[in-house]
Amino acid sequence: MTTQLLSTTEQDLERAAELIRAGGLVAIPTETVYGLGANGLDAAAVEKIFLAKGRPQDNPLILHIHDASQLPDFCREIPDAAWKLAERFWPGPLTMVLPVADAVPKTTTAGLDTVGVRCPDNDATREIIRLAGVPIAAPSANTSGKPSTTTAAHVLHDMDGKIAAIVDGGPCRVGVESTIVDLTGPMPRLLRPGGIGPEALEQVLGALIVDRAVTGEIAKDAVVRAPGMKYKHYAPAAEVLIVEGPAEAAARYVRARFQPGDAVLCFEEELPLYAGCNPTAYGRESSPATLSAGLFGALRKLDGGDVQRIFARCPTGGGISVAVRNRLRKSAGFHIVNAEE
């Protein structure tokens, strides 16, 4: 199959919608990461997503809608909290888990009786959903286990020849996947941190339980609420080791161990500390949004050559830094050292 490259002209968006309606796979731009989209109501089309990504069948997909008014079409029992969150954060990087309606096939939800729904903050993609007349089921548009894709070039690298088209909407603004909150239990539960920080959710929800999976490692056989969380994720070929602690101490730790084949993934402010240690900056520590926007691109860059080990610096703090920390820890397989110990 030849993968078509589409732009965001109305004509190309119509073409993308047509391909979706016909059961094809189309990579779509969103503010978080690129999605690998198919008609979310067509089990055979959704099946192709799992094949193209090499994605385990028990890992559900997020259903993308163009407007909150579509919620009742795909979810049952929508609590007030869901409407409040939609009002405050949609379109935006927030996925809500709600009881699934009969219209949605089991393939989309990986057999769960709940569905993750989101309205993305990207005009082109919302227009494709509207034109297609169906919700788009989409996970991130990367080969399963690899860092997510935040440019059309990343998607082409992983999906060339495997999907019908890629809509190039430029680089993703947020750069990490959506925040996922489960509204099906007695208390709202944060399943995955993302573009919307836990503090902002708490402002709307009052209380919020933070799932263990957000910060800690999950055993392979564990029953988890967001099944994607148990898999090794976002991982370049090289081994990733997170070095925590103050800048100077971390640099001393790394410099004492640095060998040929190693690389450093750090903040722009720390580049001078790693001269001669093959450093790549993924953003500025003083601006966490630049870290989330740059993380996956930097991990992909380091995935290309002959780097065998990456010493990585990870931000502290709340907001979107929680998501950056979560993704980096997973890419490191929770391999973390403290430079001062």
Window contacting ligand AMP (CB under 6 A); options: 21-29, 225-233, 259-267, 301-309: 225-233
Rule CB under 6 A: is residue 59 a binding residue for ligand AMP?
A: yes
Instruction: Map residues 215-244 to x or -, x wherever contact with Mg ion holds by CB under 5 A.
Output: ------------------------------
- Out of ligand AMP, Mg ion, none, which partner does residue 263 contact, by CB within 5 to 8 A per kind? none
Indicate the residue among 151 and 280 with the shorter CB distance to ligand AMP.
Answer: 151
- Least distance from C-beta 33 to Mg ion, angstroms? 7
Indicate the residue among 150 and 278 with the shorter CB distance to Mg ion.
Answer: 150
Binds ligand AMP (CB under 6 A): choice among 19, 82, 97, 205: 97
- Out of ligand AMP, Mg ion, none, which partner does residue 70 contact, by CB within 5 to 8 A per kind? none
**Residue 199 CA from chain centroid, whole number:** 19
- Out of ligand AMP, Mg ion, none, which partner does residue 211 contact, by CB within 5 to 8 A per kind? none
Indicate the residue among 13 and 33 with the shorter CB distance to Mg ion.
Answer: 33
Rule CB under 6 A: is residue 283 a binding residue for ligand AMP?
A: no
Rule CB under 5 A: is residue 140 a binding residue for Mg ion?
A: yes
- Least distance from C-beta 228 to Mg ion, angstroms? 6
Q: Summarize as ranges the residues that interact with ligand AMP (CB under 6 A).
A: 59-62, 97, 109, 112, 114-116, 139-140, 177, 180, 191, 225-229
